[in-house]
């Protein structure tokens, strides 16, 4: 039985991932299931520290939420302002104001930490 130990290096991480494959599917409450739970926790801590996931771009987050909720640009007008303002924001021509961030957070439940990120410039067509 392979020993479970702290993950400090990429080598340790690779060994943990190999062990994870052998333990995957173990039943909860069994010794193998307990080892799996422990290993998953260690892997999660290592990945969070070494491979953090960047927050999404605010416009991408708004578009994603619109798609999830079946919203149109017109549906955003009460939250962001006029039709032109909605277009400017979704076309990455205008940053979000603090008040817009508050409304998007309250109305669409988009995390404020996502909305305060700088809007990435539009990708140019090549």
- Rg, the chain, Cα only: 22
> Which pLDDT score, from 0 to 100, does residue 1 have?
63
C-alpha to C-alpha distance for 75 and 90, rounded to whole angstroms? 13
Determine the Cα angle at 107 with ends 104 and 109, to 5°.
Answer: 75
pLDDT > 70? residue 125: no
Percent of the chain scoring above 90 in pLDDT: 84
Determine the Cα angle at 67 with ends 62 and 72, to 5°.
Answer: 80
Does the global pTM surpass 0.85? no
Which residue segments constitute the domains of the chain, with CATH numbers given? Answer: 10-50 (no CATH), 58-116 (1.10.260.40)
Binning pLDDT at 50, 70 and 90, where does residue 53 land?
A: confident
Binning pLDDT at 50, 70 and 90, where does residue 40 land?
A: very high
Return the structure tokens found at 93: 């021509």
């Amino acid at each position: 039985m392979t020993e479970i130990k702290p993950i400090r290096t990429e080598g340790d991480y690779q060994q943990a991932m190999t062990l994870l494959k052998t333990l995957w599917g173990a039943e909860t409450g069994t010794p193998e299931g307990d080892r799996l739970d422990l290993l998953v926790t260690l892997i999660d801590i290592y990945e969070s520290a070494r491979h953090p996931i960047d927050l999404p771009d605010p416009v991408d987050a708004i578009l994603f939420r619109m798609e999830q909720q079946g919203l149109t640009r017109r549906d955003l007008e009460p939250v962001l302002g006029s039709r032109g303002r909605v277009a400017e924001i979704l076309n990455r021509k205008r940053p979000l104001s603090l008040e817009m961030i508050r409304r998007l957070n309250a109305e669409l439940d988009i995390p404020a930490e996502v909305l305060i990120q700088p809007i990435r410039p539009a990708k140019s067509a090549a």
